[in-house]
Amino acid sequence: MLQPNIIYKQIQEITSKLIEVSLSVEQNFPSNQNGVISYSGINDISIAMKNLAYEEVYKKLEETKNYNIKMIDGALIQLLYKYKNKELISHRLAFFPSPNLESFQNEPELYENDELYTDILAKNIVTFPIRFDYDPKNFKELEHPRTHVTFGQYKNCRIPVSNPLTPELFINFILRNFYNTAFIRYTDNFPVSHSYFNRTITDKEKGVFHLGIYQ
């Protein structure tokens, strides 16, 4: 089991590296209090779970600075872990892309010379939130996997994931898929260690579409 100090250190290093390569424009550095790893100034994040339009959810999170990282294109990233007696009991890793990229897309000449913006200039991009949860307390095989990913705001979208994710794995997933140009340029800045959480997926969940981490 990866101890909380390791997870905390990973988030610290990720935050610093995103600043260093100019992918983060605002940030809250992580905090670690009694096994709860969050960020300084965290507020009630239940807004992200309510039945609201995505634009409203994003606006509230942005206004209250409820994020670890605000990316160069306005996307918000949350990295939240909870431990009890040094055992991981939950995590919430969320990516909230800006619902409005028009400021980039309507004036591409301002950004087209910087490769960092290549992935967000296309007008056909449709943004949606992504959330990886580790929530064993509410486990119900197939219906509510211990570790799962939710795309968009679909109530019953819980795709099984083989393991809880480390901060390094989550950021690697986000950069590789949504900031690929920057990822290729700075890939050496974001290594992924070979330390993983234990598998939580069941045999039945392996039999349906799922996301897996294989070392």
pLDDT tens string 73-89: 899 999 999 999 999 99
Q: Residue 3: helix, strand or coil by DSSP?
A: coil
Beta 130-134 vs 159-160: how paired, if at all? unpaired
* Interval 147-173: pLDDT, tens: 999 999 898 999 999 999 999 999 999
Is residue 215 included in any domain, yes or no? no
Structural domains of the chain, count:
1
Is residue 21 included in any domain, yes or no? yes
Is residue 213 included in any domain, yes or no? no
**Residues linked to residue 79 through DSSP beta bridges, in sequence order:** 93
Over residues 51-78, mean pLDDT: 92
The pTM is what? 0.91
What's the one-letter identity of residue 47?
A: I
What is the Cα–Cα distance from 206 to 162, expressed in whole angstroms?
A: 8
Task: Tokens for 28, please give them.
Answer: 């809250």
197 and 166 Cβ atoms separated by less than 8 Å: yes
Write the DSSP string, 68-116.
SEEETTS-EEEEEEEEETTEEEEEEEEEE--S--HHHHS-GGGTTTSGG
Is residue 141 included in any domain, yes or no? yes
Is residue 90 included in any domain, yes or no? yes
Give pLDDT, residue 149: 98
Q: Return the ∠ at Cα 63 (arms to 186 and 72), rounded to 5°.
A: 20
Give pLDDT, residue 129: 95
Instruction: Answer left, alpha or beta for residue 211, where phi above 0 means left and psi between -120 and 50 means alpha.
Output: beta
Give the whole-number percent of the chain exceeding pLDDT 70: 87
Give pLDDT, residue 214: 82
The chain-wide mean pLDDT, for the chain, equals 89
Is residue 40 included in any domain, yes or no? yes
Beta 30-33 vs 36-39: how paired, if at all? antiparallel
Over residues 94-99, mean pLDDT: 94
Residue 187 pLDDT class (50, 70, 90 cuts): confident
Is residue 154 included in any domain, yes or no? yes
Is residue 211 included in any domain, yes or no? no
Task: Tokens for 52, please give them.
Answer: 């609201």
**In this model, does residue 112 exceed pLDDT 60?**
no
**In this model, does residue 110 exceed pLDDT 60?**
no
Residue 116 pLDDT class (50, 70, 90 cuts): low
CA quadruple 62, 63, 69, 71: dihedral sign: positive
Give pLDDT, residue 122: 65
The domain in which residue 19 lies consists of: 4-206
